[in-house]
Structure 1
């Protein structure tokens, strides 16, 4: 008998064990990627010698390499929308393994001179390219593999797990710094955290090979119509703009409010590396616990309402919290870091479901690459460098808080005008958002066919 295409249940979901693999796999992505910023002050000496602009050049390397992230997002978006989400998860992790292992093997300034900076940039570009498909791929995989009633909670677990990766990065960085002398660190000790990251990437790659394709993507293959880049922009341009703004807010709060914080405390507030990394560990722990709670609340009260409350908090809190983080009173500094971590972690958790829900299955990864990945490049990759530059030129330490508050002010009207993407029944919650954004009845009917 000829093979028959069986229509998969759109909301059947996959097994909890396989969902768990998809969730924990984000640990490696954020371990490898955030490790660079946590060690930026040390890496500046390793790859730029004793240059007085070493920290700024290290952050510039991070910012320039981040420009490869939207390119990676478009490439992986095309692959994921045409051949499936599973190939994206495998390919992006394979590249991440190569980049992390390559980072551990790089020559230093003392070995090859100024060319060390070139090799550092090349490896970071490869890493950024792979991350372009990694996080959006995982978010989409979880969204399309979980049930509608708890998609906020499930996708928020990916945000929490990614922070476990950041926690590991901060913890291993802190232990490495405390265990070795300054000369040992700059000679060979800085390689240890990256070697550990390479091992973790290899393990996750092996686990991901057992993941099936998402039920919603398999269902979308019943409609053979392909989504080109032009068609995605024409049919879902409102959602692309809204996604850019929401992603910008989440990225600014996370990258400036948490990831950049150790560099800020060391270079601006003159904290020791061990103390700053210790606070980074605390921030990561707070995010791990805050993220699932925020995801659960978004399932109960809606993505839009939850995002509006968090955006309002992002207007009010960052400036006083950065002012408090620079105080000599350790108790006040710890409280400020906890508040920033709760805010950034909650925004990332709700955004993990709200952002991909803006689009229907067809063309989802491509649309995320246009809106979400570009915003993350600007407000995540470039923002730490821009903030550091402004602080050094103005001698005003509150610049990070002002940036977050400004982005939040812009985001509030966009969130208010957007649709609520939480479904009241067992159907894909992103369908309503797409139907609200499109004026073409044929496109709307195509979306209904997927539901």
Structure 2
């Protein structure tokens, strides 16, 4: 067992931290797979026609609205029965949902009912992943040494992008390796079978994790809230609001600036699905490289200055980047995707630790569910649909970037007045 450090904190083992961090691969593999594969799933489950893509993205938005409900449900379990128990339960449900998706009949087989079944399973998935990311971030924050919390918590974001990279890579390989007829008939199932196998592997790994030392402290001191939901609303409304603001920026930069990009480049940029997916794969690698660097920076100089800088960049750059991606040039599209990926990766990295640090250990997971996950449901699940709708209705290719800029300008004043949550300089 790791020894107690100079601050009196007992970190969990490196093995448990690694399992927690890298297990976020599954959640983000599945949800980004749906967006990266949206143009294919639109044809397979919602039939031919230009409206199919919009319906598929609408289904994603509906499913994402289940995420806050799942977050509160699993947050209650995490705060009452432990972080480990919560994470095992959520990944069990995820495994079942992904396997069922891989076995679904298609539009060609049963008509519109296929799309309805897909959306229902997406709702189950949205519910199950509600507690995933917040539970992992809380576990990493509580298990890491104070001076390394930014780096350790950012590893969840990096691992998430590994899941996204895996999703876009599997999607690109699947699309490139078979005819459109085979893809629509059976090939689309391959990525979902891969996800189900990955989720089952994560369950096995999580069964070996230690419980969070913070939860052990609460058990020992008998400070576990009887009602985590009531405790959070009664004592941490300001923290919930700050977590909402941080997560709003992280969600819109990620879901519009990364996962929506392949659909945008295919529909507005006149690039093929194959090219768009490979460009997005390169952008995903950029996120993985940026994330730990921003995590380390937040440990060195604090969360607040990093958040402010990223909010300013997110206000100024995205609209121009979407214009570049719509140009039809492979090089310009890649440049735009890389800049957007860098911004999103940076916000996700510092946002992971900054949101969790808004709350004390008691009811931390529920507080994150109310703040961070609610923002993700609105600015993550709904924004790809809204972005596509705006582009189609207005013809303004910079509209998705303007959406990011608007959210950035709204949250920037909150970042300017919020208190620094990183440990004092002497402990960094």
CA drift of 1:187 comes to: 0.2
- 1:104 matches 2:105: no
| Structure 2: segments with no counterpart, 5+ residues | none
Matched residue of 1:281: which SS?
helix
The CA distance in 2 between the partners of 1:47 and 1:329, in whole Å, is: 31
2:210 is matched with which residue? 212
SS in 1 for 2:382: helix
The equivalent of 1:224 in structure 2 is 223
Shift of 1:96: 0.8
TM-score by length of 1: 0.91
Distance 2:426 2:342 in 1: 30
Q: How does 1:161-310 map to 2 (within 5 A)?
A: 161-221=159-219, 222-226=221-225, 227-310=227-310
Q: Does the Cα contact within 8 Å between 2:141 and 2:353 map onto a contact in 1?
A: yes
- Give aligned pairs, total: 422
Q: Secondary structure at the match of 2:200?
A: helix
**Given that residues 149 and 426 in structure 1 are in contact (C-alpha distance below 8 angstroms), is that contact kept between their aligned partners in structure 2?**
no
- The residue that corresponds to 1:86 in the other structure is 84
Match of 1:11 in 2: 9
Contact 1:148 1:425 in 2 (8 A): no
The answer to whether the Cα contact below 8 Å between 1:10 and 1:216 also exists between their aligned partners in 2 is: no
Matching residue of 1:49: 47
Cross-structure match for 2:319: 319
Query: What SS does structure 1 have at the residue aligned with 2:11?
Result: coil
Three-state SS of the structure 2 residue aligned to 1:358 is coil
Q: Cα deviation per residue 1:371-418 (whole Å; 9 max; x = unaligned)?
A: 111100000001111111111111111111001001000111101111
Q: Which residue is 2:21 aligned to? A: 23
| RMSD of aligned alpha carbons | 1.6
Structure 2 distance, partners of 1:391, 1:318, is 15
Q: What is residue 434 of structure 1 aligned with on the other side?
A: none
Q: CA deviation at 1:10?
A: 5.8
In 2: Cα distance, 1:35 partner to 1:235 partner: 38
Distance 2:325 2:391 in 1: 15
> Would the aligned equivalents of 2:95 and 2:199 in 1 still touch at CA under 8 Å?
yes
Instruction: Give the deviation of 1:153 after TM superposition.
Output: 0.3
What's 1:32 paired with?
30
Deviating more after overlay: 90-99 vs 8-17? 8-17
Question: Deviation at 1:157?
Answer: 0.9
Q: Distance in 2 between matches of 1:234 and 1:19?
A: 31
DSSP 3-state at the match of 2:419: coil
TM-score by length of 2: 0.96
- How far 1:52 moved relative to its partner? 2.7
Q: Could you say which residue in structure 1 is the equivalent of 2:137?
A: 139
Counterpart of 2:362 in 1: which secondary structure?
A: coil
Note the 1:318-357 alignment, pairs <5 A.
318-357=318-357
1:329 Cα deviation from its structure 2 partner: 2.7
Work out whether residues 80 and 224 of structure 2, in 8 Å CA contact, stay in contact via their aligned partners in 1. no
Gaps spanning 5+ residues in structure 1: where? Answer: 1-6, 430-451
In structure 2, the residue matched to 1:386 is 386
* Cα contact 1:11–1:426 (8 A) shared by 2: no
Distance, in Å, in 2 between the alignment partners of 1:346 and 1:225 is: 33
Contact 1:216 1:361 in 2 (8 A): yes
